């Protein structure tokens, strides 16, 4: 086969926000991946295309992230995708 398709693998969430699980977030943190989120609590000026560093996740699915040196919180349903930083 001479056809090779190269692409970045991203796990993306759906509209309801139920495709990405807590286990996915934990695996992403362990492997050094970033998340992308539409809403960060306490940081209203965030850019959804900027990668967020994972700091912690609690039992309720609230994720603590670092965004340009500021600590914010993302609900699991607001995670847009998981992937390596470009």
What is the per-residue pLDDT for 7?
Answer: 39
Q: Cβ distance 85 to 31 under 8 Å? A: no
Q: Which domains does the chain have, with CATH numbers?
A: 34-86 (2.30.30)
For the purposes of burial, counting CB atoms within 10 Å of the CB of 13, is it exposed (0-12), middle (13-18) or buried (19 or more)? buried
In the predicted model, what is the mean pLDDT of residues 37-58? 92
In the predicted model, what is the mean pLDDT of residues 24-45? 91
* Per-residue model confidence as pLDDT tens digits over 69-80: 999 999 998 998
- For the chain, the average pLDDT equals 81
């Amino acid at each position: 086969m001479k056809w090779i398709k190269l692409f970045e693998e991203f796990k993306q969430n759906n509209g309801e926000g139920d495709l990405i699980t807590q286990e996915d977030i934990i695996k992403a943190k362990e492997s050094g991946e970033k998340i992308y989120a539409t809403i960060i609590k306490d940081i209203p000026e965030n850019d959804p295309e900027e990668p967020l560093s994972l700091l912690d996740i609690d039992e309720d699915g609230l994720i603590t992230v670092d965004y340009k040196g500021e600590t914010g919180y993302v609900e699991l349903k607001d995670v847009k995708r998981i992937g390596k930083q470009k």
